[in-house]
Amino acid sequence: MRILIVCNAGRNIGFGHLSRSLVIAKELRDYLQVNVEIIVSGDEINHPELNLFEHTFLSLDKDLIETIFKKIQAKQPNIIIFDLSPQFTPSSLDRLLIYLKMCKIKIIGVDSIVEFGAYLDLLFIPSILFEKSDKIPVSTPIMMGWDCFLLKSDIEPSPWYPGNKVLILTGGSDVAGIGNTLPAKLDRALPEGSEIHWVIGPYAQLPHLPESPRLNIIIHNAPPNLNKLMTEVNYALTVFGVSFFELLYYGIPTVVFSPYGSRDDAYLKKIKHENVAMIAKDEDDAILKLNELMNSNSLAMSLSNHARQKLAVNGTKKFISAIKMLVDSENNNSGKNK
């Protein structure tokens, strides 16, 4: 069996779509023993996990639809999984999807292509919010919620413990430029002895560090094992995105904010209601709340416990099971038609 994954990644997009796609690809390979290929529409990077799979980079100005057509003709995949940014989804995608249906190729949308819901065999939403669209037929299977986040499964969560290590995540590309100002603010504000672990995303620039830092600031440049690093820290400050939910899965007491205006307000309101993390208005408020968190073990423990309860189910396993059901159903139907 062959599965093709199509996703976006880049300086103006971030790393989240590709990050999820790599999680999916590894699980499909390891648990269903299928051949997986990835097309990345966006900016090219050298990523060790991506190098484990046959893959193609395609710049955003190139014809993604035509590239997929050629892959179909050459490789004849049984399933195509789309994890695309709405901003960069080709308007002519419906032409391709009609062709895929004619070829009896299963089509799965991951948090994307909602407007093409009529063509989907499964819409998988790794999100806590989803507004049903009139463009999605009642017959289209939809899976969503706290148990649908696509997370790595190689490290199990463990109980939280206090300490001095703080993880800072500014996104795959740090489009808001947080790295220009936040390191110095953290160095001035955090408790003496704090250890700052700053992660540079695959598309992000080096942060501007203080000339003579008061605290120990450790730089991690696009680490391939970010989930392992998450399990080794005691607190986190992050922008809202895919990695935020990975932190919750591992029960790391976290302060989260969105530097993108009001875009994520509905999500942050929901998260605040669930009491799984501290919500900040901006990076200055985030520092204040991080200090509050580091000075209260009871608050940190409460957030950790609530987060682990909410994400007790790793959605990756659920996704792989859904893929297997689609494949088994197709195989059964093929057998009956012989």
Phi–psi pair at 237, nearest 5 degrees: -125, 125
Estimate to the nearest angstrom the gap between the alpha carbon of 104 and the chain centroid: 29
Query: What pLDDT, on a 0 to 100 scale, did the predictor assign at position 153?
Result: 81
Is residue 125 pLDDT above 60, yes or no? yes
Q: Is residue 159 part of a domain?
A: no
Is residue 20 pLDDT above 90, yes or no? yes
In the 8-state DSSP scheme, what is residue 212? S
Do 140 and 109 lie in a common domain?
A: yes
Query: What pLDDT, on a 0 to 100 scale, did the predictor assign at position 112?
Result: 80
Q: Is residue 18 part of a domain?
A: yes
Do 322 and 306 lie in a common domain?
A: no
Please state, for a pLDDT cut of 90, what percent of the chain lies above it.
Answer: 84
Do 125 and 8 lie in a common domain?
A: yes
Do 59 and 145 lie in a common domain?
A: yes
Mean pLDDT of the chain: 93
Do 81 and 179 lie in a common domain?
A: no
33: helix, strand or coil: coil
Neighbours of 218 (CB within 10 A): 12
CA-to-CA separations, 310 to 25, 35, 112, 246, 307, in angstroms, rounded:
25, 33, 23, 12, 5
The better pLDDT of the pair 184, 111 is held by: 184
Do 178 and 289 lie in a common domain?
A: yes
Query: Can you read off the two tokens belonging to residue 109?
Result: 């949308």
Can you give the CATH number for the domain in which 297 is found? 3.40.50.2000
Do 129 and 185 lie in a common domain?
A: no
Q: Is residue 246 part of a domain?
A: yes
Q: Is residue 103 part of a domain?
A: yes
Q: Is residue 287 part of a domain?
A: yes
Contact 204, 170 (CB under 8 A): yes
Do 286 and 169 lie in a common domain?
A: yes
Do 296 and 194 lie in a common domain?
A: yes
Give residue 284's domain range.
165-310
- Using CA atoms of 199, 203, 209, 213 in order, give the dihedral in degrees to the nearest 10: 10
Do 146 and 190 lie in a common domain?
A: no
Can you give the CATH number for the domain in which 38 is found? 3.40.50.11190
* Size of the chain in residues: 338
In the 8-state DSSP scheme, what is residue 146? G
Query: What pLDDT, on a 0 to 100 scale, did the predictor assign at position 220?
Result: 97
pLDDT digit string, tens, across residues 137-163: 788 899 999 999 999 888 999 999 999
Which helix (H) or strand (E) segment is 55 a member of?
strand 54-58
Q: Is residue 156 part of a domain?
A: no
Instruction: Give the mean pLDDT of 107-135.
Output: 87
Do 294 and 178 lie in a common domain?
A: yes
Q: Is residue 286 part of a domain?
A: yes
- Number of structural domains (the chain) is 2
- Partner residues linked to 7 by β-bridges: 40, 83
Confidence of residue 330 (pLDDT cuts 50, 70, 90): low
Give the separation between CA 208 and CA 178, rounded to whole angstroms.
Answer: 9
pTM of the predicted model as reported, rounded to 2 decimal places: 0.92
Do 169 and 305 lie in a common domain?
A: yes
Q: Is residue 278 part of a domain?
A: yes
